[in-house]
Amino acid sequence: MDVRNATIEDLKSDFAGSVLTDGDAGYDDARALWNAMIDRRPTLIARCRNTSDVSRAVRFARAQGLPVAIRGGGHNVAGHAACDTGVMIDLSGMRAVQVDPDRRIASVEGGATWADVDRAAQAFGLATPGGLISETGVAGLTLSGGFGHLRGRHGLTIDNLVAAEVVTADGTLVRASADEHPDLLWALKGGGGNFGVVVRFEFALHPIGPEVLFIAPIYAVEDGPGPIRAWRDYVAEHDELAMICEFSTVPEDDEFPHEAWGQKVFALVGVGLGSEAEAEALAAPLRDLGPKVADFSGRMNFADIQQLFDAQTPYGAMRCYWKARYLTELPDAMIDLAMENAVRAPSPNTISSLWNMGRAVRSVPAEATAFGDRSMGWMYSADGVWANAEDDEANIAWARDSWTRAEPFGHGDRTYLNFPGHGEDAALTRAAFGSGYDRLTRIKSTYDPDNVFRFNQNIPPAT
């Protein structure tokens, strides 16, 4: 779409950040996303510095009849943070975090990453549940739920969201909290980026660490499913532990025994809280479930644990297609299937995981958040990661097939919307919201009646 230069110059004249169009220095870096498959060319990229910039960019888009894509951390595998025709609002210049240690609240700008939050909060021995990778954006992860190491004790990220400031589709700033626009706060707890640009999140913080126990024994797939079955039974009894069983291929890395390089393995990964003795006692049975390939368990700073997997997934380096589904239970047959899927993955960079929900996640009623029902016990995710375009078809087929084969164990058709494939299946978005969907469409029509914010797992406005 052709936008007149004079109009763009108008926007630039009063903009604290920068405004980029195709051909400008920095345009290609700004539109690059974590998933190297995504190659979109926005009409204009508004690199915002403050809330006024965001409001101006939204008003500009409306005036030009352009839709808006919002970039938080740029990590979403579907690449919704960039668009071809439209305005990309880039919040990567808005990452400040303020911590009030007395009220135990973190106030977090909309473009922050989890590293920003952990760094600021851990200075006071506090944390809120984020994800497992510190470079992931706070915004996208939060708005669709947020699964991390702390969920067994403190729930999903949305369960700790106490307020948010949002620039809505008409460019105005709205505060959503228990007292102001509570419907909007409810919708932000799982409804994605449908309702406006969140310029600030406020999270409840909890005392964590700074040192906690990292739990990470690694077992070989070829030695069979015994350790996963025992782990499943153990976390059912100890559901304050929320963990993942992550399947991967041992990299050629001196941290691993050389004879294990290239072997298919699974790691039972989690964080043990409480006193050192309590955490050690809780983890001990999981570290003794058979012969181990390696065991990276040990006491570490929580903020360091949050960064342990970052190097595995560098920004913009790999091509990706990830898909997840919730599982009602984790029967032996599903464990066998997860092992088979891991063995036949075409790429050594691919990972796949079984996540137990944990006590605090399951204790929240379905109607309390837009995320909906919490009665599932597990999640399975098949995360295709590979290097070359010629391997796209085989790797996407693997992820889709692994996901389809897990259907008999699924919790209805519900998926985690932060692992959405390439966002190609609108029916899955509808199914993910369950009975909260109609309420979400009504809230959408209040805050974004023209569906300006549509590069997401889209909820159309009620008609």
Ligand X SMILES: Cc1cc2nc3c(=O)[nH]c(=O)nc-3n(C[C@H](O)[C@H](O)[C@H](O)COP(=O)(O)OP(=O)(O)OC[C@H]3O[C@@H](n4cnc5c(N)ncnc54)[C@H](O)[C@@H]3O)c2cc1C
Strands 211-215 and 264-272: antiparallel
Interatomic CA distance for residues 429 and 422, integer angstroms:
12
CA 73 to chain centre: 10
Choice between 447 and 455, CB closer to ligand X: 455
Choice between 17 and 192, CB closer to ligand X: 192
Choice between 308 and 368, CB closer to ligand X: 308
Choice between 90 and 289, CB closer to ligand X: 90
CB of 271 to ligand X, least distance (A): 12
Is residue 328 exposed (0-12), middle (13-18) or buried (19+ Cβ within 10 Å)? middle
Choice between 277 and 311, CB closer to ligand X: 311
DSSP characters for 128-171? ----SSTTSBHHHHHHT----TTHHHH--GGGGEEEEEEE-TTS
CB of 164 to ligand X, least distance (A): 9
CA 450 to chain centre: 27
Choice between 132 and 361, CB closer to ligand X: 132
Choice between 347 and 456, CB closer to ligand X: 456
Binding site for ligand X (CB under 6 A): 34, 69-77, 80-81, 91, 110, 131-133, 136-137, 139-141, 143, 145-148, 192-193, 197-198, 313, 418, 455-456
| Opening angle at CA 285, ends 282 and 290, nearest 5 | 155
| Opening angle at CA 70, ends 154 and 440, nearest 5 | 60
The length of the chain, given as a count of residues:
463
| Opening angle at CA 264, ends 260 and 269, nearest 5 | 95
- 210: preceding bond cis by omega (within 30 degrees): yes
CB of 172 to ligand X, least distance (A): 15
CB of 167 to ligand X, least distance (A): 9
- Determine the residue type at 154: H
CB of 291 to ligand X, least distance (A): 28
Interatomic CA distance for residues 391 and 158, integer angstroms:
36
CB of 35 to ligand X, least distance (A): 7
CB of 309 to ligand X, least distance (A): 8
